[in-house]
Structure 1
Amino acid sequence: MNYRWLLFGLLYLFIGCELTPKQPFQPQLVVHCLLHTNENQVQARVNRSYKLEEDYQPIFPGVELQIAGPDGVVDFQYVAGDSYRTVQPVQINEQDTWFLQAVKLGFDTVQAKTVIAGGFEILSPLPGDTVSSRDSMVWTRSRGSKGYYLSFRRIDLQDTFYLDALIPNDSFDLSYDSLRVRIPNMLFLILVAPPPESAPKLCTLRVWALDTNYYDWVRGAAGGGSVRLNHLNGGLGVFGSAVERTVPVWVRADSGPARRTTNWDIQPFGYRHRN
């Protein structure tokens, strides 16, 4: 599913359920912007909310968009459609605080804040290891992170968060370790394992430490219960941040169900403990 239809489908449902005939519809700016410590150019999507009977307009220029961090204010320029990007390189550092402002004539000004999570390291597996779903994965905890997004690829603006794992920072509470996150079995490797009797397949595992804003956004987009999707003032959408770590591994063809019993079940967007 395209990100555009996911985002504005949610807005249509929200508007249709919340408004009564006596409440006039007031369009709001809809912003999607993710700060990434591994990138020096920030991209954003900006559009507006629509009535149920309105057609979506993919072209949305004229937004004055800025972010502000430790080194000052950075402006965005319009690219095409409803896409914007920064006009100069941006240094996104761990544990920095950033602010966003979006202004367009006829709309309320949108403001938001994100605090970049702290750094962390993947302890196991190590780069180049040969692994299967029976092996565990361990990384150090990220200070200030609401949770972690585990994927086989990178985050981009089109993600709809179907199969990748979303892991709260307080997960695995029965054996909670304040310094490390441990996944007992990498059952998700079943999704990328090569056919039986094939040679191991090279795969890059990616872990993002997410701020509260983007964690809630991903969890809501994945159907993860009743959470607040919106942490913007004056508009809708998300302004969040992520710190990335990667590890290349070789995935064995025998990455099927674990041979030993486990109390953990993999879910489409996380793990849950069986009672």
Structure 2
Amino acid sequence: MTRPIILDLTPGAQGMATLLAALQVPDHVRPVLVLFSGRATEVEVAQAHARDMLRQYGLDDVGVHAGCPGPLAGGTGHDLPAGQDGLGALHLLQAVRACPADSVSLCCSGPLTTLALALVQAPDIAAHLHGVIVNGGAFYVHGDATAVAEHNIAADPEAASVVLAAGVPVTLVPLDCTARLKADAVWMEQLEPMGRLPASVAGRVHAELAAARNGGARGSGVDVSLRAVAPLLALLSPGLFSGHLAHVDVECRGEFTRGMTVARRMGPPGVQPNALVLERLSVEAVRGVLRDLLLSACK
């Protein structure tokens, strides 16, 4: 069965690699919506690239839109950020409602603002979601936003709290799991056939990945993270990941701990798990799956 999926991506090489990989398995997943959240100029470029990619795969009907550019709450509560028209959330809830109940999976590589806003506006869409797989959290490792918080959760802790409380099946892919998932020199060399087709979508993704590595410290070819692709790969190849059910809370108020994620395996009576927290992945196997998916775009 082909599962409808929604990709909520951040612009850049990793986001484009995620979309290209998703297009290689039409018997398993089919994108029904692609969102990009981030800086306006970067989002515009990513949208144009994504539309061109989808067009070449005969998927002109798939919407490509901008997600919410700012956090859900401007302090407390769930107020719309100034200047935010909520169109990204509207496109999301329309796409979800168009899918049968318990059918659509959402892979989110950035903050959860757009999904949270859609759930606040239309709680009924939760019944249509088969699962939400999120890059988010740092439990036993140093955060990448603060000492205790991972970037995507820290960018909008209130949004993460909304999603975790919505009753939808959530899978968290934290920094603990993806810290070693990187595009190193050996892996990039394996993708060299993509570079032989510079005019193709595969060639363009390869060029963007190479530029991301060469744009590192002093252009020295620094390994770049591939964690943006982890939610899609966890959906396609769940056997390469392992984790545990937990009740996850997000710290929204602490002066020094805002955005911190806390997982309780054994909570007090009445506290039920609200997420599957992935602890480990097989780095070489996961990179091998991604490599093979990207190379299949050359055929």
* TM-score grouping bracket, smaller chain normalisation: under 0.3
Return the TM-score normalized by structure 2.
0.26
Of structures 1 and 2, the larger Rg is shown by 1
Q: Which has the larger strand fraction?
A: 1
TM-score by structure 1 length? 0.28
